[in-house]
Amino acid sequence: MRLILSAAAIGLAALLSSCTAASTPTGIEAVPNTHALPGAEWLTNAPDAEGSGGCDTEAPLAPGAQPRPGAMPTGSTMAAIVANGQLRVGVDQNTYLFGFRNPATGQLEGFDIDLAREISRDLFGDPNKVRLRSVAAAERIDLLRNKDVDLIVRTFSATCERRRDVDFSSVYYRAAQRIAAPSGSGITGLDSLAGKRVCVAKGTTAGAPMLSAPAKPRVLGVTSWTDCLVALQEGLVDAISGDEPILAGLVAQDRNLTVVGAPVSSGAYAVGVTKGADDLVRFVNGVLDRTRADGTWQRLYQTHLAALGPSQGPPAPHYVR
């Protein structure tokens, strides 16, 4: 069923048509704010994609002996979380399949949501001692830096740029970045975006490949992927670019969309951890190793991601010893 949010789209139309020459921060072309989709901006720069920066983005700390639930080492980051009585996790509520709010139940569901619960299970012996906080992609690093959450489990790609500010677990999912466009639009991939407008979620790595593309499309940054869907449905942008599972979620909401072209980049999803919390990184990696070994990862895939096709299995970890 096609999602139509005409009131929001009308506001966005006004937003896109009323650019001014006011002074703005470097890398952002001014787009006045509206109540409909606050924060929409024409982008001229974006976070680096995976693979840029020269570091090894997939070499986190190896897990040690995993403590029993509820019996964390004295003085550890995990003991402080247990003493607090809950694990605070930043998640998404707008990305179908990974983190979304079920309209029938009002509950948050998805692969990332259940992965957060598995970490809670190994901390407390209870998967439900987790406080899920819906966060925008652009907020993830600041929330960890300010210790407003303990972890981020939100389709968070490990990159060299981000590693300067936060730490990451081992990779738990790999995703190719592609393009989604309306059927019959004539858009077939990256090379056909000349003169086109492409929507991405701000704070993600999706913008960088679009901004560096030889076709030089205009890139609109919005708060969430559902905002991109609104803009596309009303003809305010011509395409959306994001990770393939995110686009699959949008296609499930609007069957007029088609994912086209070859991958333009890739993402390696990992759990975000506050910089310097090495013990928590090792603990989370122990949880991820457990989900790989006992079939939990595969079960979560079948529950939430089966629409993406047969599972290739969990990514193998590459640890720094």
pLDDT (tens digit per residue) in 17-41: 433 333 333 344 444 343 466 778 8
Mean pLDDT (whole number) for 244-248: 95
pLDDT, averaged across the chain:
88
Pairing of strands 218-222, 197-201: parallel
Nearest to 37 by CA among 184, 229, 275: 229
Strands of the chain (E only): list them.
Answer: 28-29, 41-43, 87-91, 94-95, 99-101, 108-109, 130-134, 151-152, 166-182, 197-201, 218-222, 239-243, 257-274
pLDDT tens per residue across span 150-180: 999 999 999 999 999 999 999 999 999 999 9
pLDDT tens per residue across span 166-224: 999 999 999 999 999 999 999 999 999 999 999 999 999 999 999 999 999 999 999 99
DSSP category for residue 317: P
pLDDT number for residue 57: 81
Count other Cβ atoms within 10 Å, centred on residue 180.
Answer: 26
pLDDT number for residue 37: 67
pLDDT number for residue 1: 39
pLDDT number for residue 59: 80
Mean pLDDT (whole number) for 287-304: 98
Per-residue pLDDT band at 54 (split at 50, 70, 90): low
Percent pLDDT > 70 in the chain is: 86
Q: Give the pair of three-digit tokens for residue 183.
A: 């059927």
User: Among 50-64, 74-88, 282-296, whose mean pLDDT is lowest?
Assistant: 50-64
Per-residue pLDDT band at 53 (split at 50, 70, 90): low
**10 or 104, which is more confident:** 104
Q: Give the pair of three-digit tokens for residue 211.
A: 């901004």
Q: Which amino acid is at 152?
A: I
